[in-house]
Amino acid sequence: MGLWEAVEQAWDALRANPLRSVLTTLGVVIGVAAVIALVSVGQAARSRVVGEFASLGPDLLWVLPGKAEEGQQFATQEGRFTLTFADAQAIEREARAVAGVAPWLQTSIEVSGGGRREVTTVIGTTANYLEIRGLRLLEGRFLSEADMQRRKRVVVLGEVLARQLFGSPRWALGRRITINGRAFEVVGVLRPQGQVLGVDLDDRAYIPFSTAQLLFQVNYASFLFVKAQDTASVLRAQREVERVLRREHGEEDFTVLTQSQFLGALDAILRILTIALSSIAAISLLVGGIGIMNIMLVSVTERTREIGIRKAVGARRGDLLVQFLVEAVAISLVGGVLGMGVGLGASWAIAARLLDQPPTASASLPVVVLAFSFSVLVGVVFGTYPAWRAARLDPIEALRYE
Amino acid sequence: MTPVVQLRGVVKIYHMGAVEVRALRGVDLEIHKGEFVAIMGPSGSGKSTLLHLVGCLDRPTSGEYRLEGQDVSRLDDDTLSEVRNRRIGFVFQTFNLLPRLSALQNVELPMVYAGVPRRLRRQRALELLGRVGLADRVHHRPRELSGGQQQRVAVARALANEPSILLADEPTGNLDSRSGEEVLALFQELNEAGATIALVTHDPEVAGHARRVVTLRDGHVVRDEPVHSPRRARDELRLMPAGPDG
């Protein structure tokens, strides 16, 4: 029997039970759609986040508290409080390949101003930060050296926070906001930076690092931003920073990451996340496959007599195997194609919403090929056993079956 | 001349759980080309088992079965499928047509498995349906046909690959007497045209249409005799009132 005959037969058989066929197909549609959507959204998120960090500039380094284990980029929670402002000063003073250092102390807290209250991220840093991150001002000025030395209670707002509190960035200048019970004067508003993975970089308030330490009663920095003189001196800067800190601390309780190392680590984490999510989605594809197997087993039992008749008129085991296998693969293939459409549509919508960018076709192509072959594989794997059961039926018993 | 069917000392034993059923206990039987044989016997006599063996749906436990001289008693399943496909035509009591397929597609089915090209297949199926008087019903599905018509489709299907022998298992059992007689008339016509036919029945009237009657009892052939003046189905039909099939 030719393959085309088998395809025609499968189509007839599937049409005989439309609702059952549609529901079984739906199982595969959902599985394939879930895999495609999660993988492509994961990929898009990864490229987006990596892109965001890459745009910070290739000459950036991070100094993180705690020593990363061998083979890992990020430290465990231990030694969170080992970095200080003195470290930042020492690096700035001694590391020749370093252009600037900005300490960073961050906390989430409610602030009030303009008659409103907002929970926002308050960041303590120094004047250097503006230049290190290459940020631009919309209004007023950024934090200054003098603010830092005198622990002044001045604040620079992100554009979104300024609008939330005062209606417009323009009206924020010179106004007061209250952080942790203390009044701060707004001296500047930053230009919008946008969002990274739903985190709004403009919903922030920057205060002098020294003021922040006083305000929150701590003496450490969350981490330090370091800018190398230029791209070529990044690795030299890394070595110098390590040398200075080793001497200052007397031990290696910190980690210095270059941008590419940071990106690599970030990329690895996001990759694992994507794989984990897709594996969960793959389970639904597995369930879809089990649905196919279940329905094919029912179908083989229901059609025992048909199988007997076919055998009596000369069907070989291979003919029946092919017939039922083609039915199973037809379900999974149709499910795969529809699921691909749904999955791509969903990932497009999700990406457009969450990441402000549709996933690119080139990123989706391998996913599509993978999901497609996977759905065919599901049909073959879960269709083989029922088809084999059909093929090995004894014709006499099958003909007697009521 | 080589007989179409040649059974020598055929024994068939079934095991139904712990019980051993000796359905055939040494059967010798020859059916020659052009014969019309009725196989009779009460239920449990082994006549269905014999039909299954002759039809290559099953293998004998011991003994030898030669189909047109070829020993088919030890062939594997797939080879038996091919033998059934090319050389055996089955007609069953319950017609056993595939309900989703049209009359035409049902008749084509054995040719599908024989690998006959599509166009040739269609042409031959149409021809066969014409021969059994159903030229105007080729696209009907089985449930749109009367019992007699369904059985005639089944006969057309049985003839599809020009088999060596036509095997019928109580072919009139599910039909009213007129439709049954018409099917028997069809068998007689086919036989007169040269077809070899073996028909299993428990009904002496049906068996009386054959030219030879083999009687089975307890797994043995107890009688094997010619019918001196077979009933003529065409004549019987003339004596019957017209039925729904016309």
b/e code A133-149 from CB counts within 10 Å (16+ = b): bebeebbbebbbeebbe
CB contact at 8 A, B124 and B87: no
* Least confident window among A35-39, B38-42, B140-144, B198-202: A35-39
CB contact at 8 A, A191 and A136: yes
Token digits for B38? Answer: 């009725």
What is the per-residue pLDDT for A278? 84
A contacts of B101 (beta carbons < 8 Å): 12
Q: Do A319 and B113 touch (CB under 8 A)?
A: yes
What is the per-residue pLDDT for A400? 87
CA angle A131, A135, A140 (to 5 degrees): 95
What is the per-residue pLDDT for B246? 45
Residue written as token pair 């070529």: A232
What is the per-residue pLDDT for A69? 64
This model of the complex carries an ipTM of 0.94
Give all strands of the β-sheet with B197-201 in edge-to-edge order. Answer: B88-91, B165-169, B197-201, B36-40, B212-217, B220-226
Token digits for B23? Answer: 């359905």
What is the per-residue pLDDT for A358? 58
Q: Is B86 on the interface with A (CB under 8 A)?
A: yes
The Cα B244–Cα A112 span in angstroms is 95
Amino acid letter, residue A168: S
Residues in chain B: 246
Phi, psi of A181 (to 5 degrees): 85, -5
Token digits for A183? Answer: 């009044």
**pLDDT beneath 50, residues of chain A:** none
What is the per-residue pLDDT for A47? 78
Between A and B, how many CB-CB pairs are < 8 A?
63
Q: Which residue has the higher pLDDT, A250 or B200?
A: B200
* H-state helical runs in A95-177: 128-133, 145-149, 159-166, 169-172
Radius of gyration from C-alpha coordinates of chain B: 18
Mind telling me how many Å the CA of A4 is from chain B's nearest CA? Answer: 11
Q: Which of A12, A316, A395 sits opposite B78 (nearest CB)?
A: A316
Model confidence band, residue B159 (pLDDT cutoffs 50, 70, 90): very high
**pLDDT at position B137 over 90:** yes
For residue B122, with 0-12 CB atoms within 10 Å meaning exposed, 13-18 middle and 19 or more buried, which class applies? Answer: middle
The Cα A310–Cα A316 span in angstroms is 9
Instruction: Determine the residue among B21, B51, B112 to mutate to test chain A binding: the one whose Cβ has the most chain A Cβ atoms within 10 Å.
Output: B112
CA angle A202, A208, A214 (to 5 degrees): 120
- Chain A: residue nearest B102 by CA? A12
What is the per-residue pLDDT for A126? 94
